Amino acid sequence: MTTTTRQGAQETVAASAWNLTKTYGQGDAQVHALRGIDFDLPRGRFTAIMGPSGSGKSTLMHCLAGLDQPSGGTVTVAGTDLGSLDDDALTIFRREHIGFVFQSFNLLPMLTAGENIVLPLELGGRRIDDAARERARMLADTLGVADRLGHRPAELSGGQQQRVAIARALITEPDLLFADEPTGNLDSTTSAEVLDHLRRSARELGQTVVMVTHERDAATYADYVVTMQDGRIA
C-alpha cells in the first residue's frame, strides 16, 4: 500500500476478487457455486451482477461482502484482504465499510423506521447524537421517507420499507453498498423508484453500489453489468 500504483488502483477499484472458488458439500453431493472468479469492482459506480438462479451470483456477493468465507482465492475490499480477518474483525469491517439492502425481512419489526436507519451506528457503539440524527433525516429526505420515521415497518409499504433500508445502508458512508434482489418483492413502479435511488447514490454521492438481480430491467439502471453462468463470469 506504499506504492503509488496501488494507491492509484485503489482510486478506481473498490473491491477485487482473485481466483475465487466456493464449494458446498462433499463427495457426490459437492456443488461448485463459484469456479474461479477474477473480478474488479469499479469505485463510485453502479454494478449489477446478473444471472439465472443457481448461477452463483448470491454466493459471489456473500463472499465479496464478507458474509461467507470462500473455499479458495482472495477478496480485497478497500485495500483489506478479507481472508486475513477472523469473525469479529470481519463483523467490525462490515459494520464500517459495507452496507446492505436485502430482498425482504429487511427491517427489524420492533424498531421504528428512524431507529432502523441509525441501527448500524448503534451497533458500532456510537452515540446517536444530533449530527447522526440530522444525517438520518437528510437521507430519509432524499429517499422520500422523512415523514415515516416514527412508524414501524409493518405500517410502511414495501417500497417505503426498501427505501428505509437504503437509508440505513448509507448512514455509515460505506465503501460498498450491496443490494441483493432489492426489487424482488416490489411492483414495477416502486421498483423503478428504488432503482433510481440506487443509481442516484452512485452518481450524486459517488457511492459504489453492487446489485444482485435476475431481472434484466433492473440491470439496465446499472453502469456495468456482470453476467454469471454456472459459477463463472460469462
Partner 1 sequence: MRTVFLASLRTHIRRYVAAAIAVAVAVAFVVVVGVLTSGARSGLMDGLGAPYRDADYVVSAAGWPSSELDPKAAIAFAERHGENAAATGRATLPARANGRRLPSETTVGPIATSAEWRWQELSSGRFPARTGEAVADVYFALAEHIAVGDRVRIGEGAAARDVRVVGLVESPSPPAQAAMYVTWPQLLQWRDHLHLSAVAVRGEVGQLPEGAKAQSPEGFAAERLTYVQNRVDSLSVMLLLFAGIALFVAVLVIANTFSILFAQRLRDFALLRCIGATRRQVVRSVRREAAVVGVLASLTGTLVGVGLGYGLIALINTLTPTALMGAAELPTPWLLGGFAVGLVVTMVASWLPARRVVRVSPLAALRPDAAVDVHTATGLVRLALAAILLVTGPALLGVAMVQGSTALMVAGGGSVFAGVLLFGPVLVPHLVWITGALLGPAGRLATKNAVRNPRRTATTTASLLVGVTLTTAVLTGMATWRSALDEQIGRDHPIDVALTSPERPVTTDLLDRVRHTPGVERAIPVDGAVARVAGLDKPIPVVTAPAAEHVARDGGAFARVEPGKIGIDSEAFGKDLSLRPGDRVTVRVGDRRAQLQVAVGTGWGPVGVVAPETLATLTDAPEPHAIWIRASSGADPARLGGDLDKLADPVGATIENGLRTWESLDQQLEIYTWSALGLLGIAVVIALIGIANTLGLSVLERAREHAMLRALGLTRRQLRRMLATEAVLLSVVATLLGTVIGVGFAWVGYETLVTRALSDATMRVPWLSLGVVVLIAALAGLLAAVLPARRAARVTPAAGLSLD
Per CB under 8 A, 25 contacts partner 1: no
Rounded-to-integer distance, Cα 178 and Cα 33, Å: 19
CB of 33 to partner 1, least distance (A): 11
Rounded-to-integer distance, Cα 226 and Cα 221, Å: 13
What is the arrangement of strands in the sheet containing 13-24, beginning at the earlier edge strand? 31-42, 13-24, 72-77, 80-81
Phi, psi of 223, deg, nearest 5:
-75, -40
Q: Which of 45, 94, 135, 148 touches partner 1 (CB under 8 A)? A: 94
CB-wise, 46 or 100, nearer to partner 1? Answer: 100
CB-wise, 143 or 221, nearer to partner 1? Answer: 143
Q: Is 79 left (phi over 0), alpha (psi -120 to 50) or beta?
A: left
Question: Which one of the spans 6-14, 99-107, 186-194, 201-209 is the region binding partner 1 (CB under 8 A)?
Answer: 99-107
Q: Which of 122, 147, 155, 187 touches partner 1 (CB under 8 A)? A: 122
Per CB under 8 A, 78 contacts partner 1: no
Site for partner 1 in 199-228 (CB under 8 A): none
Rounded-to-integer distance, Cα 24 and Cα 21, Å: 10
First to last CA, the chain: 31
Beta strand 176-180 pairing with 31-42: unpaired
Per CB under 8 A, 231 contacts partner 1: no
Per CB under 8 A, 157 contacts partner 1: no
- List interacting residues with partner 1 (CB under 8 A): 58, 62, 65, 67-69, 87-88, 91-92, 94-96, 100, 102, 104-106, 108-111, 119-120, 122-124, 128, 168, 180, 185
